[in-house]
Each structure stands twice: as structure tokens, then as C-alpha cells.
Amino acid sequence: MKILVTGGAGFIGSHTVVELLQASAEVIIVDNLSNSSPQALQRVAEISGKAPQFVKADVRDRAALQEIFKEHQPEAVVHFAGLKAVGESVEQPLSYYQNNITGTATLCEVMAEFGCKQLVFSSSATVYGDPEILPITENAPTGATNPYGRTKLFIEEMLRDLHVSDPEWRIALLRYFNPIGAHSSGRIGEDPAGIPNNLFPFISQVAIGKLPHLSVFGNDYATVDGTGVRDYIHVVDLAIGHLRALERLAKAPGLVTCNLGTGRGYSVLEMVAAFSRISGCEVPYQIKPRRAGDIAACYADPSFAKQELGWQAERGLEEMCQDGWRWQQGNRQGYRGSNG
């Protein structure tokens, strides 16, 4: 199968491309490299033993997309390309609406023009806002608390409207929980620019000594130890979920919305303890006030993904920490400063 992967040089995209190539798919990547490195693509090829085709372009560039569709005629698209930093989205909302919403609309228009109507979209658990009931099922109420989250909500609505207007479309809306870890080779992983916003890369940079300590944002939530609880999922499990979703779309028409999580939540302090144990390094931390917009707890009911896609997460917290630590140790500066 020929698959176009937008944002395929990024964290989740690069891991998904490895799984696709290993499953004998032909992969074309379109990425503007605004938040990723060409090194990731070299390493994807090294791990997989074959290279994906790569076009450096923006998904808002209609002419570039048309060229790609003309030349490669992909049968399906996995759409990761977009901006994802919550804080930045509050400061630069138009850039988020422009990249995420206009990007997706342009992509879908070009797909329709070339008769390609199978799409897997990267949504997020952020669409559940502050959940009333845990674990979260797909029919829980949605709502967003920041522009980034709103782009995901609006895109989901746009894709539902598209499917209503033309039921030939086959669409999977995958709501990711908190992807962490790295490929077991240690060659690809998460490479945040500057100081990480997310917990796992922050802990990992403290463990290796790049950052002095972790700030724990609040210890007065109604959780096991007062710190925030999240459903961390190994990025390779998440990547495999995309293959199952593509298989599902190939089998039956329709629009399907699935949580991709493990169903198990861990607190910030549980994450610190697990990472320290696996790495053998201390992770000093200081308790700080709550971070604006944070919620107490968020974890998935993943049973619908199992039923609908035949997918469930297989890798536990230990493996997430081991693989994330291997990546951190082998790539202290991420992809920067590396020639291969």
C-alpha cells in the first residue's frame, strides 16, 4: 500500500513510518521540518532497511500537495503535520489555526481532487477538556481550554462534516493520550527544541544532567499523591495503532473515533520514581504551584480501540522509561550536532 505521511519526520510520525516500512508499505513523507530534523529520516531508513520518499513542503502548499498526489498516487494519508505546543498556541493562536485547520482543509481538498479518501488523523485527549468521568470513553463530552485543543476539536468536526457530505470518505480520528519513550534501537525519539514543555522529556533531561531539577506543577490535586495523573503510552504502541486504523479503513467504510491510551494512569511522582529506578539517576524535583490549564487526572478507556481496531497497548511503563533513557543517553543533544 502507498501511504502519504504528513509530519512524518516528527516524533510520532517517524516511529509510525518505521512500522509502516517494516509492514512493507510504500511511504511518502511530506514535512516542512518546522519542528523536526532530516536526521530523523536518515535514521528511519537505517532502522527499516529502506528509505521513505521525502518531500520538504508545507501541507498548506496546495500546488506542492498536488504534485505529490500526481506523482505518487497514495491510497491513504496519515496526517500528523501540525503545531502542538499548548502555551505557544495561547500566544500565537492564528499560527495554530492557520497550520492545523487550513493545513487539514487544504490536504483534504487535494485528497478529494485525486480521489484519495482514506485519512487517519492525529487528534488528542485534549479534546476531552477536564473530564467528569474516568476512564474516558469516546462518547464523553468534549471541550477545549486552549487554541491548540480547539484546532483539534474543530478539525474533528470538519472531518465529520466531510464524511456526512460524502460517505465515500473513510476516516479514523485517533485521540492520543500522552505518548512517551522512543524506538528500542535508541536511534529515533522525541527531540523538543529548547526546554521541554512535557513531563517525560523534562525528567529525562534532568536525569542526564542537562537540567538541574524538575518543577512538579501542584501536589494538591485529588489524586493518589496529589500530583497530576496521565495515561502515558509508548510511542511505538501508538505508531502501531495507526497501522491497525489503516487496516480498519481498508476493510469497511465509515468514520471511527478511537482513544489510543493504555487505560492506566501514573502520577508525576510515580513517573519520577520509575525513571530514577530505570536510569539509576537521581531526578531532583521541587513542588511548584499548579500550571494554568492543567487538570488533575486523564486516562483512557481503551476498550473501543480494541474492539474496533483490534489494537491495544503492549508496552508498560518500564519499557517506556528504558527506551526513552536509551534515546536520551545516545543523543544528548537530540538530533542536533549529529551527522548520521
Q: Which amino acid is at 125?
A: A
492545523: which residue's cell? 100
Is 148 tagged catalytic?
Answer: yes
Q: Which cell is 26 given?
A: 510504500
Stretch that binds ligand NAD, among 4-12, 107-115, 263-271, 275-283 (CB under 6 A): 4-12
* Active-site position among 96, 97, 128, 148: 148
Beta carbon of residue 293, minimum distance to ligand WQD (angstroms, whole number): 8
In the list 202, 275, 299, 327, the residue contacting ligand WQD (rule: CB under 6 A) is 202
Residues 61-90 that bind ligand NAD (CB under 6 A): 80-84
Q: How far does CA 239 lie from the centroid of its chain?
A: 9
- Please choose, from the candidates 293, 338, 300, 317, the residue with its C-alpha nearest in 3D space to the C-alpha of residue 137: 300
Q: Rounded to an integer, what distance in angstroms lies between the CA atom of residue 161 and that of residue 247?
A: 23
Stretch that binds ligand WQD, among 161-169, 214-222, 247-255, 332-340 (CB under 6 A): 214-222
Beta carbon of residue 282, minimum distance to ligand NAD (angstroms, whole number): 26
Out of ligand WQD, ligand NAD, none, what residue 245 binds, judged by CB under 5 to 8 A for its kind, is none
Q: Which residue is nearest to ligand WQD (CB)?
A: 228
CB 26 within 8 A of CB 3: yes
Beta carbon of residue 167, minimum distance to ligand WQD (angstroms, whole number): 28
259 is an interface residue for ligand WQD by CB under 6 A: no
Q: Judged by CB, which is closer to ligand NAD: 26, or 61?
A: 61
17 is an interface residue for ligand NAD by CB under 6 A: no
Residues 111-150 that bind ligand NAD (CB under 6 A): 122, 124
Residues 157-186 that bind ligand NAD (CB under 6 A): 176, 178-179
- Please choose, from the candidates 299, 290, 308, the residue with its C-alpha nearest in 3D space to the C-alpha of residue 173: 308
Q: Is 94 exposed, middle or buried (0-12, 13-18, 19+ CB in 10 A)?
A: exposed
Q: Rounded to an integer, what distance in angstroms lies between the CA atom of residue 55 and that of residue 30?
A: 5
Four-point Cα dihedral 301, 177, 311, 249, nearest 10 = 110
In the list 3, 35, 52, 321, the residue contacting ligand NAD (rule: CB under 6 A) is 35
Residues with Cβ < 8 Å from 190, sequence gap 6 or more? 11, 180, 182, 200, 201, 235, 324, 327
Q: Judged by CB, which is closer to ligand NAD: 66, or 287?
A: 66
Q: Which cell is 210 given?
A: 542537562
230 is an interface residue for ligand NAD by CB under 6 A: no
Cis preceding linkage at 135, omega within 30: yes
Beta carbon of residue 259, minimum distance to ligand NAD (angstroms, whole number): 11
- Please choose, from the candidates 335, 332, 37, the residue with its C-alpha nearest in 3D space to the C-alpha of residue 211: 332
Beta carbon of residue 32, minimum distance to ligand NAD (angstroms, whole number): 4
CB 261 within 8 A of CB 255: no
**Residues classed as catalytic:** 148
Interface residues toward ligand NAD, by CB under 6 A: 6-7, 9-13, 31-36, 58-60, 80-84, 99, 103, 122, 124, 176, 178-179
